[in-house]
């Protein structure tokens, strides 16, 4: 069937089909458009340009990314610092616990008798003369604990116990805590063994014994095979006496009035100690004050902490690794 046009000409069905289905006519002005695009559609290149990022948007994105990376780095650094500090504190705590537990055993079984010698800070004749001790203290006493027995003779439950911080710069134990545990025999079974049966024996220098029976027990540097390293990171040792009335004393009261010995120590972990020389550790130990008359419990430890906090000459990472401890060692009642 043919259709009549305005010009009076009839088109065939084949010629009318494209117009019926909406096909685009290809005139001179539309010949450059791709097949299948309507006149209202944008070209592909124009659409890609509309969806792209601008330079400002890229700059903002990069800035935000850099900020996130910086925050993550700071978080990791803080976590690493906290972990390292925690490990340092655990190392110092472990060292201090070992030493203080050993002291607790030795002091708990101290032979507390008026007729037995006791070398300590403030002791005077007829006992071993300890006198005033500046800097690291020393102490030596008889205790009912096992020790290193002589090669001959029977074992004895009594030992000569001593504590000190070694002050010999040529020693491998310089600026480190040592303990002596010299086992004693009951009888003089050999000329070299000093028997317990003849107590009291003067441990250190006294009027009756100018050289002392065991001079190494009262010295901070003399060597003795019975000394052992018990606190490699302990560089400061100080103590005082607690009287039965609750007051502190830097001179030992009578046996019946001595209730406890208060010990303060300063410990530095191995990583922090590696940042300091032996000379710096010696100077640092000397800067930590001694017990003085009129102090109360905890005051010395607070003074030490204040000294460390205000120190500006030593590396702060090394000072932050120093831990301070104070413990009371209560003594058994006197036997005489």
What is the tens place of the pLDDT at every residue in 263-279? 999 999 888 888 999 99
The neighbouring-strand residues paired with 185 are 195
The owner of tokens 């401890």 is: 325
Q: Write out the two tokens for 202.
A: 């003067």
pLDDT value of residue 9: 52
Confidence band, pLDDT 50/70/90 cuts, at residue 304: very high
pLDDT value of residue 53: 77
Mean pLDDT for the stretch of residues 38-54: 59
CA-based nearest residue to 332, from 143, 157, 120:
143
Distance between start and end Cα atoms, the chain: 143
Spatial distance between the Cα atoms of 187 and 154, rounded to a whole number of angstroms:
8
Residue 2 in this model has a pLDDT that exceeds 60: no
Collapsing DSSP to helix, strand or coil, 262 comes out as: strand
pLDDT digits (tens, 9 = 90+) for 147-196: 776 665 556 778 899 999 999 999 999 999 999 988 887 766 666 667 77
pLDDT value of residue 13: 52
Start-end of H helices in the chain: 13-20, 44-51, 55-108, 215-218, 270-273, 278-287, 299-310, 316-319
pLDDT value of residue 23: 47
The neighbouring-strand residues paired with 159 are 143, 183
Q: Write out the two tokens for 278.
A: 């032996």
pTM, two decimals, is 0.73
The neighbouring-strand residues paired with 128 are none
Mean pLDDT for the stretch of residues 252-258: 87
């Amino acid at each position: 069937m043919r259709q009549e046009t305005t010009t009076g000409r009839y088109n065939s069905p084949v010629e009318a089909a494209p117009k019926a289905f909406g096909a685009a006519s290809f005139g001179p002005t539309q010949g450059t458009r791709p097949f299948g695009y309507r006149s209202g559609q944008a070209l592909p290149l124009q659409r890609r340009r509309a969806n792209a990022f601008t330079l400002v948007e890229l700059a903002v994105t990069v800035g935000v990314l850099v900020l996130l990376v910086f925050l993550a780095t700071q978080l990791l650094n803080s976590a690493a610092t906290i972990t390292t500090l925690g490990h340092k504190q655990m190392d110092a705590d472990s060292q201090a616990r070992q030493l203080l537990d050993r002291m607790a055993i030795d002091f708990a079984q101290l032979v507390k008798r008026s007729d037995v010698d006791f070398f300590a800070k403030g002791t005077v004749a007829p006992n071993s003369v300890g006198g005033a001790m500046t800097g690291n203290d020393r102490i030596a006493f008889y205790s009912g604990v096992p020790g290193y027995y002589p090669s001959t003779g029977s074992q004895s439950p009594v030992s000569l116990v001593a504590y000190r911080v070694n002050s010999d710069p040529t020693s491998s134990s310089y600026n480190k805590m040592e303990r002596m545990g010299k086992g004693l025999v009951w009888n003089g079974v050999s000329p070299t063994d000093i028997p317990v049966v003849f107590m009291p024996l003067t441990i250190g220098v006294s009027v009756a014994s100018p050289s002392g029976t065991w001079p190494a027990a009262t010295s901070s540097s003399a060597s003795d095979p019975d000394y052992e390293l018990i606190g490699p990171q302990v560089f400061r040792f100080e103590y005082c006496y607690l009287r039965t009335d609750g007051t502190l004393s830097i001179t030992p009261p009578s046996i019946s009035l001595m209730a406890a010995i208060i010990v303060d120590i300063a410990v530095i972990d191995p990583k922090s100690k590696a940042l300091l020389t032996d000379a710096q550790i010696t100077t640092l130990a000397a800067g930590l004050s001694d017990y003085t008359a009129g102090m109360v419990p905890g005051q010395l430890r607070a003074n030490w902490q204040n000294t460390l906090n205000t120190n500006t000459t030593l590396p702060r990472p090394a000072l932050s690794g120093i831990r301070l401890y104070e413990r009371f060692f209560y003594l058994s009642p006197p036997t005489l």
